[in-house]
Structure 1
């Protein structure tokens, strides 16, 4: 559909929302409609001055940055990489924390000047309650990657933006923040959401590796060449095989929920018990063909032990384990 026609339809839908308290059926995609209705209930007005979310400055902002030091250290190299891909496209890359406070931005100078006019800068707070439907705040509420294009923004002032954001999760499923790519709506790129999602997963993987340096790790993928890439599944394990956490690829592949961490063991999900891995020996380059019992899928995987551990030292903890044998999860 022509962008101008789309904008007109969206504006008419917003008028209907203001008059009746709900969006007309089918006029707006479901997630955007839900966000618009939340924005209205929060008292946000599409036109006029933003009444909340004043940018943090001074001591408050320094405290926020201090609390976010680890996330910033891990995310900055990924943001640099993303910016190389979108440079000179009138766009910017944004990292926000779980409270929608912008922590760090990179962008083309001409677009940054336009973004400043709507407070798209470090220290600004982009919750739905403050700024209505927007990719950063709405992705955090929905806990899923999403795009907010042009007039889909609840505030008229933000309708020049095309934004794609992906939430960032810890290995235990805690929401850490969001990675957003925003640009000029007239120059929208179809691949932006995919790039933001990939970047978020790169940050998640780096976070997992940093936080679980002293734990055992299982890296796996359905293709041998996929092990070691941004698409691999990663699980953190205790020496007895207890699953401590994992990335989104692992959770999706193995159908594991965040509530399962600390309850399931490797032997619950794998056709090859952990003791067999250790009996065979291991190396950082070994890839073995495995089957996840509760999914039936085969994967290539490698077990990585931390520097202070050795298979010989760790094996007794696994071989002597007297925990009860659990039945595999249902498919």
Structure 2
């Protein structure tokens, strides 16, 4: 199919004609036109993100890649002779692991089948990785199924990898630079990718469920111990704590719920889904033959099950095990993804200590929320006192923090006032935007931390204080120390431990956060839901304002939507695509490109190099696009 024929078919699909394409391809083409405003008449080169951005994505996916590696290498050995390459992409579509023939590296990189390639639908149009992220299903995008003519020589097959809490975590893809014309030639590829994903999810569940009972399921006893179709983990109280994707579908079918709502499955009693008690399920070990391990599912079907006991037992709990659950405060930190799990482990260890903690992250990433979790998990009995150092006028910050004696200055209360530091006695003092504290106040704070005493303004006798300090800044304090604008000795007092919060666009538990905010803003008796197109827009927007901006957007949409269903038109204007897209007009695509560039520049405070890094292009390309779109260089 030539270039013009491909464009004409996309036009006919847009106009509602049936061209014989698979429905999953047709739906993706329509998303590319209506939601992402992509123009198939303007082919785009494959995007390879910068080394810095790739490093960030690979660090986020490090735990999953480690668990998946043996499965990935086994799959590649099976398909390498047919000239396939293997890509593992994160939930944002960025390739974080790549296996391919090094002699074809130049061709593979040019085609985007390479480490660091970005295959999200908004960036690349219809492609296997992007469509898999959008639908949550295993699929093949074969040659002219691709939206962008640049990619039509390729044949790509992908399957989603879900985490133990039911959220999409990554996509496994195998691709060919060229392949036989028939799409059915990729059926075996789809089977191999799906079976590899099943093994990776099972390995991940086992790695994250050492303290829980794991139940594996198969439809036939012969496959129970070698290739189970589904698995779940269960704690000592009989509650479901994790699952593979097959496990999610099994539970959803049994309970009559949508597997895309995993929050309706996690935490439920396992006996809600199976016609068997917890003791009976726990007894289905290898002590009995596979054909004797049959159980009934609540939907009427029969399965074979294999129970794997916890690796570590805790005495005094029903049937000998208990899940090692973090305190409830720490559980509020985020979804079950490797990066947040690592942060949760640090908080669990640091919270009960007296170590000062420095929180770092962009504005709106939830630093005060994390500080409150540290306080709640610490076990202290005093108050949590939050101070925004940037919001208090410089001439008042000392009296606000340290308090003052009667008549200390003009306008002072006659009986004096206790400072915020004393208010935090026995609790936690949270100093937000500590980088904005005046230099003189920094010196006095250092003395308080060093000596455990506070001297009120106008006072002559210090007062003993005992509190835990948590501070936060979106500014790089180490650079401020080097520039002489922040005291070095105070910096080292505050950062005995450092916790970093990722930007919202980098959080693998983004869907979990969206669901929590939908719960937050839902009205009594009317839960909030997102229509498919609205969810895609939210998941693919870059969110320069981070969680604060997302929270505001959901609150805005909640006020506008009908019957609790948020549609695209209910979202704030800056999130929504242009209304009534006019076919394949180039102007629409340019307006969207201009808006994206301006939004990214604004998020980077006019820093062109940083904006280019976020967009995955070099600085020269960035300047060329700015000139073409009439965007002035920021001052």
TM norm structure 1: 0.83
Q: Please state how far the C-alpha of 1:189 moved relative to its aligned partner.
A: 4.0
Whether 1:155 aligns to 2:152 is: no
Larger radius of gyration: 2
2:37 to 35, 43, 49: 43
Indicate the residue corresponding to 2:170 in structure 1: 177
Aligned residue in 2 for 1:235:
232
2:208 pairs with 1:211: yes
**2:265 matches 1:265:** no
Instruction: Output the CA distance in 2 between the equivalents of 1:111 and 1:29.
Output: 31
Shifted more, 294-303 versus 131-140: the winner is: 294-303
Retained in 1: the 8 A contact 2:231–2:243?
yes
1:250 aligns with 2:247: yes
Give the C-alpha shift of residue 263 in structure 1: 4.1
> Against the structure 1 CA distance between its residues 220 and 34, is the aligned structure 2 distance closer, same or farther, given a 3 Å change threshold?
closer
Partner of residue 27, structure 1: 20
Whether the aligned pair in 1 keeps the contact of 2:126 and 2:145 (CA below 8 Å) is: yes
Contact 2:7 2:41 (C-alpha < 8 Å) held by counterparts: no
Structure 1 vs Structure 2 CA RMSD: 2.7
The answer to whether structure 1 residue 196 and structure 2 residue 200 are counterparts is: no
In structure 2, stretches of 5+ residues that fail to align are: 323-635
1:273 and 1:295 map into 2 onto residues whose CA distance is 16
Is it true that 1:88 corresponds to 2:81 in the alignment?
yes
Match of 2:55 among 62, 70, 78: 62
2:303: which partner in 1? 299
User: Is 1:122 matched with 2:119?
Assistant: no
Deviation beyond 6 Å, 4+ runs, structure 1: none
Q: Give secondary structure in 2 for the equivalent of 1:114.
A: helix
Q: Is the 8 A contact 2:6 2:144 kept in 1?
A: no
* Cα deviation, residue 311, structure 1: 8.9
Question: Could you tell me how far 1:100 is from its partner in structure 2?
Answer: 0.2
Match of 1:168 among 138, 155, 161: 161
**CA shift in 2, pair 1:115/1:47, >3 Å:** farther
Shift of 1:220: 2.4
Tell me how far 1:173 sits from its aligned partner. 1.0
Structure 1: how far apart are the matches of 2:107 and 2:286?
A: 48
TM-score after normalising by structure 2? 0.45
More strand by share: 1
The answer for unaligned runs of 5 or more in structure 1 is 1-6, 319-331
Moved more, 65-74 or 13-22: 13-22
After superposition, give the CA deviation of every residue in 1:214-254 in whole Å (9 maximum; x if it has no partner): 21111222322222223332110011211122223333344
Shift of 1:276: 4.0
